[in-house]
């Protein structure tokens, strides 16, 4: 990544690949070295094709704080493998210097202190500068967006994704795939795809539900650098399960491995010399798919929000993981000759917002999109003395705030909050604005329900979600993290099968064990059921924060994790 | 998170199936159905393709397809349903292909099993785990 941190694999096709994992191939970067834009962008052009990958922006147009996970447990064969490596282990694996800019960008430790030194990350005007710079060197570069783009901010909610669509068109994205886009509903998705987007909306695995026929363009061709390149889109496979299917009832998704093989073969038959899969499968699903579907050269992965500083190789397929929230842009240069990928060079470019000059055109576009909502966005609701973050397999501090708000505003004993991986962090001492609240809860189905559940039902839900996260077979994982719980503690053994992972469920207020037969008042948000009633989650959080004024959290020890 | 109605439906399925289909106590078991179909022949695991989703988008209507070139009959079982027998498809000599696709109801996460009987009486078998989940927490 930074400066000399580039990963060059000049001979994929050779049978003896030196240092196949690539770990430790980077030279050490001096921590004292001042960061410059030139260093961040430095890249010796390689080969004849350049791909630029962004993914999981979640509508973050402005720079943000984003703390990487402290918990990212891999199970089965994924144990200890990237991206299931965090903190010091990550620093060691990739030979980073502790407290260096890349350690700050890629890991969670000392986040608060390092944030003061290195600042916020991302911002689509900074991303625009990076894209323009790459295109200046390689005019033929292809810019691809892995999806989860239109959703995740107050302005994207209020404009139904329009602000982000305008930004992505201006950035010059050339193809995308999808996930949360669908939560604006079929009609809005079609309106944007058919009348707004200046590029294809790809999804080989999106099928018409009634007739089980492909419903969207599966792939598109590019002729660049004298090479015919196929880019195949793979939308999030578990759309109708993880998100409300009543919002897009016409479509079925799924991994559809056979379909992927079919379109790869079809693209090859039509003359593709390079096959790129622009995927929203999630990293572990893509890794498994790469070993089973033949003929994909590059998988640009998305969904699980992993930033991995080096490509991961599976056979002759390279997997690129470009992070989330606009924190990173990947540049991948490829040497394609005689109809095959002969080598690659990759750099995960961290978007340090204080180092990379914003692109003036993009800055003014973003400001124009925000202008009608500016007063609302900037309204200060409360202040936080604690570091607030969500990302991680288990409860983050933002989740504690949300669960507390849900319990107190909805008068519930137990709160449930979805373990989504998006949402910006808040630094201690920072004001919390209305925009900050939306960043962690914006959605088109944000009603906070209040209901009664038996202890047995709560247990079943926890087991179900845990299996979506810790099933040893990636094809049975949906991504996302463990459901967040307020008012109740539990223990989890991630290595057990479904039904046996969750034990010691405890009612925190009384200290009693949760009784399977007893009913509890539970409130939560983000239900996939149609017709869910209740106030919007951002209003619930705002009301709670205004009452407490200042957030000051005690460490939460209500979840005990074993089997790591 | 999800809950309420889908949850209620999910938990209600077992009882409903028992009430409206047949009494599970009298339903033929997977072992009994398999023994009757195979006449004791040990199945081979090749020559049969079963296509099923990894996770059901809707447990009430799960698309399943099975193909076994040369088969005279294919039996489909849902091992975890109160009534495991789903269907048996028979193919005459004039059949252009030995393939069947249907949508089935799955009460819970379970294995779907397909057994094909070939003209010579040999048996081929494939199975797939289909997860039926509450869902709702993806991000």
DSSP per residue, A298-346: EEEE-SS--B-SSPEEETTEEEEEB-STTSEEEEEEEEEETTEEEEEEE
> What's the ipTM?
0.85
Bigger pLDDT: B21 or A215?
Answer: A215
- Spell out which residues of chain B touch residue A531, defining contact as CB-CB under 8 Å: 5
Sign of the Cα torsion A96, A99, A102, A104 reads positive
Q: What pTM, to 2 d.p., does this model score?
A: 0.91
- A7-15+48-64+120-367 CATH, one of 3.40.50.720, 3.60.21.10, 3.40.630.40, 3.30.565.10: 3.60.21.10
Distances (CA, A) of A455 to A504, A519, A532: 12, 6, 21
User: Would you say residue A269 has pLDDT above 90?
Assistant: yes
For residues A75 and A25, the answer to whether their CB atoms sit within 8 Å is: no
Beta-carbon separation of A420 and B1 below 8 A: no
Distance CA A408, CA A27 (A): 52
Q: What is the pLDDT of residue A471?
A: 95
Intrachain domains A7-15+48-64+120-367 and A379-562 with the same fold: no
> What mean pLDDT is predicted for residues A447-461?
96
Neighbouring residues of A195: CB distance < 8 A, sequence distance ≥ 6: none
Write down the residue that tokens 């994982």 correspond to: A477
Neighbouring residues of A361: CB distance < 8 A, sequence distance ≥ 6: A128, A170
Beta-carbon separation of B139 and A498 below 8 A: no
User: In the Cβ-directed half-sphere of A15, how many Cα atoms lie within 13 Å?
Assistant: 0
For residues A123 and A362, the answer to whether their CB atoms sit within 8 Å is: no
Q: What is the mean pLDDT of chain B?
A: 83
pLDDT in tens, A357-368: 999 999 999 999
User: Would you say residue A375 has pLDDT above 60?
Assistant: yes
Taking the domains of chain A in order of start, what are their residue ranges?
A: 7-15+48-64+120-367, 379-562
Chain A residue closest to B6 (CA)? A529
Beta-carbon separation of A476 and B138 below 8 A: no
Beta-carbon separation of B139 and A419 below 8 A: yes
Q: What is the pLDDT of residue B26?
A: 63
Beta-carbon separation of A242 and B54 below 8 A: no
- Spell out which residues of chain A touch residue B9, defining contact as CB-CB under 8 Å: none
- Spell out which residues of chain B touch residue A212, defining contact as CB-CB under 8 Å: 63
Of A240, A145, A234, which Cα lies nearest the Cα of A183? A240
- Tell me how close the Cα of B17 comes to any Cα of chain A, in angstroms: 20
User: In the Cβ-directed half-sphere of B25, how many Cα atoms lie within 13 Å?
Assistant: 1
Q: What is the pLDDT of residue A21?
A: 31
Based on the number of CB atoms within 10 Å of its own CB, is A497 exposed (0-12), middle (13-18) or buried (19 or more)?
Answer: exposed
Closest by Cβ to B2, choosing from A240, A471, A529: A529
Chain A residue closest to B2 (CA)? A527
Bigger pLDDT: A307 or B133?
Answer: A307
Beta-carbon separation of B54 and A476 below 8 A: yes
Question: For chain B, where are the alpha helices, taking DSSP H only?
Answer: 4-20, 30-38
Give the class (CATH, top level) of A379-562: alpha beta
State percent of chain A over pLDDT 70: 94
Beta-carbon separation of A418 and B137 below 8 A: yes
Distance CA B118, CA B42 (A): 12
User: Would you say residue A473 has pLDDT above 90?
Assistant: yes
Q: What is the pLDDT of residue B6?
A: 41
What are B's interface residues with A at a Cβ cutoff of 8 A? 1-7, 11, 51, 53-58, 63, 109, 129, 131, 133-139
- Tell me how close the Cα of B56 comes to any Cα of chain A, in angstroms: 8
- Spell out which residues of chain B touch residue A419, defining contact as CB-CB under 8 Å: 137, 139
> What mean pLDDT is predicted for residues A399-410?
98
pLDDT in tens, A10-29: 444 433 222 223 333 333 33
- Tell me how close the Cα of A217 comes to any Cα of chain B, in angstroms: 21
For residues A227 and A297, the answer to whether their CB atoms sit within 8 Å is: no
Q: What is the pLDDT of residue A246?
A: 96
Between A and B, how many CB-CB pairs are < 8 A? 115
Q: Assign A503 a pLDDT band (cuts: 50, 70, 90).
A: very high
Cis peptide before A83 (omega within 30 of 0): yes
Tokens of A191: 């309106």
- Spell out which residues of chain B touch residue A527, defining contact as CB-CB under 8 Å: 1-4, 136
Q: Roughly what angle, to the nearest 10 degrees, separates helices A455-470 and B4-20?
A: 100
Q: Does domain B4-130 have CATH number 1.10.3720.10?
A: no
Q: What is the mean pLDDT of chain A?
A: 93
């Amino acid at each position: 990544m930074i400066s000399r941190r580039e990963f060059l694999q000049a001979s994929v096709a050779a049978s003896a690949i030196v240092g196949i994992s690539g770990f430790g191939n980077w030279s050490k970067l001096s921590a004292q070295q001042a960061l410059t834009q030139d260093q961040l962008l430095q890249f010796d052009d390689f080969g004849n094709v350049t791909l630029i990958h962004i993914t999981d922006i979640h509508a973050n147009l402005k720079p943000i704080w984003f703390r990487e996970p402290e918990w990212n447990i891999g199970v089965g064969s994924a144990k200890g493998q990237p991206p299931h490596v965090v903190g010091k282990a990550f620093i060691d694996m990739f030979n980073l210097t502790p407290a260096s800019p890349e350690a700050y960008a890629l890991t969670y430790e000392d986040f608060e202190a390092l944030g003061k030194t290195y600042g916020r990350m991302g911002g689509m005007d900074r991303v625009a500068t990076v894209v323009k710079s790459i295109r200046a060197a390689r005019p033929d570069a292809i810019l691809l967006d892995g999806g989860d783009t239109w959703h995740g901010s107050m302005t994207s909610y209020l404009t139904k994704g329009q602000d982000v669509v305008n930004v992505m068109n201006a950035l010059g994205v050339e193809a995308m795939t999808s996930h949360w886009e669908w939560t604006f509903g079929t009609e809005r998705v079609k309106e944007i795809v058919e009348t707004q987007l200046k590029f294809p909306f790809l999804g080989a695995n999106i099928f018409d539900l009634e007739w089980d026929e492909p419903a969207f363009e599966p792939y598109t061709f590019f002729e660049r650098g004298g090479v015919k390149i196929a880019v195949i889109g793979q939308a999030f496979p578990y759309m109708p399960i993880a998100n409300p299917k009543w919002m897009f009832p016409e479509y079925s998704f799924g991994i559809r491995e056979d379909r992927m093989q079919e379109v790869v073969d079809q693209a090859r038959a039509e003359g593709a010399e390079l096959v790129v899969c622009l995927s929203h499968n999630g990293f572990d699903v893509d890794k498994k798919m790469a070993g089973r579907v033949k003929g994909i050269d590059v998988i640009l992965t998305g969904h699980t929000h992993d930033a991995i500083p080096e490509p991961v190789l599976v056979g002759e397929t390279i997997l690129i993981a470009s992070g989330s929230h606009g924190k990173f842009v990947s540049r991948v240069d490829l040497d394609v000759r005689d109809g095959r990928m002969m080598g690659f060079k990759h750099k995960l470019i961290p978007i340090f917002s204080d180092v990379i000059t914003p692109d003036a055109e993009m800055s003014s576009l973003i400001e124009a999109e925000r202008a009608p909502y500016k007063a609302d966005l900037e309204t200060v609701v409360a202040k936080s003395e604690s570091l607030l973050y969500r990302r991680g397999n288990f409860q983050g501090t933002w989740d504690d705030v949300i669960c507390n708000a849900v319990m107190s505003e909805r008068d519930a004993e137990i709160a449930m909050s979805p373990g989504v991986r998006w949402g910006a962090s808040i630094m201690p001492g920072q004001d919390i604005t209305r925009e900050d609240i939306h960043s962690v809860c914006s959605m088109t189905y944000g009603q906070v329900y209040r209901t009664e559940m038996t202890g047995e039902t709560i247990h079943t839900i926890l087991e179900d979600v845990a299996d979506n996260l810790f099933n040893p077979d990636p094809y049975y994982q949906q991504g996302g993290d463990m459901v967040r719980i307020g008012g109740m503690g539990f223990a989890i053994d991630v290595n057990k099968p479904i039904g046996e992972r969750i034990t010691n469920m405890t009612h925190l207020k009384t200290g009693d064990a949760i009784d399977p037969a007893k009913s509890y008042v539970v409130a939560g948000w983000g239900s996939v059921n149609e017709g869910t009633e209740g106030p919007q989650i951002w209003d619930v959080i705002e009301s709670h924060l205004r009452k407490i004024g200042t957030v000051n959290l005690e460490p939460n020890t209500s979840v005990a994790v074993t089997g790591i | 998170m999800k809950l309420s109605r889908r949850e209620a439906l999910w938990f209600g399925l077992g009882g409903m199936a028992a009430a409206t289909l047949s009494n599970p106590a009298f339903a033929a078991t997977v072992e009994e159905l398999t023994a009757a179909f195979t006449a004791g022949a040990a199945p081979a695991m090749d020559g049969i393709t079963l296509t099923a989703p990894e996770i059901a988008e809707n447990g009430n209507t799960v698309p399943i397809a099975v193909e076994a070139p040369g088969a005279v009959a294919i039996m489909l079982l849902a091992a975890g349903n109160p009534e495991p027998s789903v269907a048996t498809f028979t193919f005459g000599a004039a059949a252009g292909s030995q393939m069947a696709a249907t949508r089935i109801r799955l009460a819970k996460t379970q294995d779907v099993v397909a057994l094909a009987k070939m003209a010579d009486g040999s048996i081929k078998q494939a199975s797939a785990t289909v997860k039926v989940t509450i869902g709702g927490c993806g991000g």
